[in-house]
Amino acid sequence: MKKEDCDKEKKRPRRLTLKMRLSLLLFVIAIPLTGMILEILKMIQDYSNSYNEIMSNLKIANEYNIKFKEDMEYSMYRVMIGLIDASKFKDGDITEGSTQYATVLKNPINMINSARYAFGTSIERVPDSDSEIKIRGILSCLDSLEKAVNRMIDNSAVPGTYSENVSIWENDIKGLCSMIQDYITQYTHYEMIHMEKLQKQMDEQTRQTVGIFIVLLLGVLSLGFILSAAITDSVTRPINSLRKTAEALGQGDLTARASMYQLEEINVLARTFNKMSDEIEDLMEKTRLEQKNLREAELKLLQAQISPHFLYNTLDSIVWMAEGGNNKQVVEMTTNLSDFFRTVLSGGKDFITVAEEEGHIRSYLKIQKIRYEDILEYSIEINDDIKEYVILKMTLQPVVENALYHGIKNKRGGGKISIRGYRNGETIFFEVEDNGIGMDQVTLAALTKKLKSPERPSDTQKGSFGLYNVVQRIRMYYGSQSDLTITSEKGVGTCVRICLGLSEKNGHKKT
């Protein structure tokens, strides 16, 4: 990007990033929808609370509507006819008889106090409502009933008061119990009416709320659709423009430059692309002014910088053999190199069969055998019963490469690499052994520590980088079912042993 373009870009206000736009879209959609859901939940909660309150009130009222009158009249009748000693009620209920068929007479005072607490305290009351009026009537009758009961109990201890007790039982107790029962029935009736009104109110509120929510939902979806279309356009339009600019540059138009847009991420790409275009244009301009030999040298240097070390050396060997007229070896090495990279790519798959992995390292070693014919020998012994099992790609090649470059090459007179593969129970084992220079115990301990460390070795630690990569990959894919161990002796050689537990990753054969 030219200096004047940079100055213009700095003067422009900060643009919204894609993340900010998506967050705005989420905010616009999520907040109203969340509000609607919370409002619906609140409405349901309010209705549920009111319904539970009414049902609790009805439950209390029904309990007394069924039992209170019957138990009260029976207890006071037994007091009236003198079959029980009413003074015993001070100890609670009275049990008549000692068998399983014994009759229990409820304490009338306790019954009255219990009913007074239930209707006066436990039941939720709405002031000045019809239900509350009936409760006041119940409480008033309970006060009168308590006086009548106390009067009869007191008379029961005085001889000659039977006729008065009959009058109290007939006129006061039975009448008040019937009035209390009527009041409870009426209270229940008004509570049912209240429940019906609540249901109608809920239905009406639901219809209104649903209507409002439908309108709001349509508005939110419309706004979300508009914002989504705008965000999509803000991404696709500059990308298409950037693609066309890249195509123009690829076709030789060195003046092609990407335009700036409102999306910050695209602008980062555009600025980088324009900077790259400027550098390419400058480089091409310089290249045109240089001599042919200088251009070739620069291109070779660039190639050396961007080519992998193995590919560079292999291609260099192919060129060397072609110049020497060794056509058969050129064909063999080229074929092996093709097979090698075909396995490396393998259609983007992470897992390949053991047979394919064997072919991969075999191609690698054939290439290296041609390059290091005098110093390298190798053998591959992988049992047939594991060749169709699927394992993680590039499991063995880095280990074999490490054995070659750090074991065999540094040994005077060369050496041999032996690769073995076999299965033992639910585990597949691979061993890569060389008779190279080996390691002393201090070096081996340091290497083992590096492989167990979560920190990746630096590029300067090339002796452990390949092994570390294998360890991390198999740990990531196989977890505790994997392991890599190293045994080594200075001047004798090194053996790297890899074990992979049979699991969903590799515990099946290729179909």
Give 438-461 pLDDT, tens digit per residue: 999 999 999 888 888 766 555 444
Mean pLDDT of 323-352: 69
Q: Is the pLDDT of residue 30 over 80?
A: no
pLDDT at 14 over 90: no
- Least Cα distance to 433 among 471, 478, 383, 396 occurs for 396
Distance (Å, whole) CA 76 – CA 152: 8
Give yes or no for residue 427 having a pLDDT over 70. yes
Cα distances from 149 to residues 81, 165, 179, 180, 286, in angstroms, run 14, 10, 15, 15, 120
Give the mean pLDDT of 159-174: 86
Best-predicted range by mean pLDDT (94-98, 159-163, 267-271, 300-304): 159-163
Residue 392 phi, psi dihedral angles, 5° rounding: -70, 130
Region 376-387: what's the mean pLDDT?
92
Nearest to 373 by CA among 309, 308, 326, 312: 326
Q: What is the pLDDT of residues 52-67, one digit of tens each?
A: 888 888 888 888 887 8
Given pLDDT bands bounded at 50, 70 and 90, which one contains residue 313? low
200 with 208: CB under 8 angstroms?
A: no
Cβ–Cβ under 8 Å, residues 61 and 123: yes
Is the pLDDT confidence value at 295 over 50? no
pLDDT value at residue 510: 54
Joined together, the tokens standing for residue 249 give 């540059």
Whole-number pLDDT of residue 489:
92
Which tokens is 375 given? 């110093």
Residue 475: is its pLDDT beyond 90? no
3-class state of residue 396 by DSSP: coil
The per-residue pLDDT for range 349-361, each reduced to its tens digit, is 678 899 988 988 8
Which residues are CB-neighbours of 213 under 8 A, at least 6 positions away? 36, 39, 40
Dist CA 429 CA 391 (whole Å): 11
pLDDT band for 380, please (50, 70, 90 cuts). very high
In the predicted model, what is the mean pLDDT of the chain?
78
Q: How far is CA 396 from each of CA 54, 173, 226, 475, 486, rounded to the nearest angstrom?
A: 76, 101, 54, 15, 14
- HSE-up of 104 (CA within 13 Å, CB side)? 5
What is the pLDDT at residue 355? 92
- CB under 8 A, 24+ apart: contacts of 144-147: 144/172, 144/176, 145/72, 145/112, 145/172, 145/173, 145/176, 145/177, 145/180, 146/109, 146/112
User: How many CB atoms lie under 10 A from the CB of residue 327?
Assistant: 10
Closest by alpha carbon to 475, among 453, 442, 457?
453
Poorest-pLDDT segment among 25-34, 207-216, 362-371: 25-34
Q: Tokens representing 498?
A: 């890899």
Cα 486 vs. chain centroid, distance in angstroms? 38
Query: What pLDDT, on the 0 to 100 scale, is given for residue 320?
Result: 67
Q: Which of 437, 355, 344, 349 is nearest to 398 (CA)?
A: 344
- Which SS3 state, helix, strand or coil, does residue 324 take? coil
Amino acid code (one letter) for 84: I
* Three-state DSSP state, 484: strand
**84-88, 389-393, 496-500, 505-509 — most confident range:** 496-500
The mean pLDDT value for 385-399 works out to 87
Query: According to the model, what pLDDT value does residue 205 have?
Result: 80
> Who wins on pLDDT, 303 or 433?
433
Q: Residue 82: what are its φ and ψ, rounded to 5°?
A: 80, 25
Looking at residue 389, what DSSP letter applies?
Answer: B
Q: What is the pLDDT of residue 305?
A: 32
Q: Is 74 left (phi over 0), alpha (psi -120 to 50) or beta?
A: alpha
Please say whether the beta carbons of 261 and 267 come within 8 A.
Answer: yes
Query: Of 346 and 334, which is predicted with more confidence?
Result: 334
- Which is more confident, 364 or 239? 364
Q: At 69, list the tokens.
A: 């009158």
Q: How far is residue 357's CA from residue 55's CA, in Å, rounded to a whole number?
A: 74
Choose the weakest-confidence range: 194-198, 234-238, 480-484: 234-238
Backbone torsion region of residue 138, taken as left when φ is above 0, otherwise alpha when ψ lies between -120 and 50, otherwise beta: alpha
User: What is the CATH T-level fold of the domain 307-501, as seen in this structure?
Assistant: Heat Shock Protein 90 (3.30.565)
What per-residue confidence (pLDDT) applies to 297? 32
pLDDT-based confidence at 366, cuts 50/70/90? confident
Give CA–CA dist 18/268, Å, rounded: 12
| DSSP letters for 25-41 | HHHHHHHHHHHHHHHHH
Q: Is the pLDDT of residue 484 over 80?
A: yes
CB-based contact 497:485 (threshold 8 Å): yes
The total of other beta-carbon atoms located within 10 Å of residue 111's CB is 21
**What is the structure's pLDDT at 374?**
76
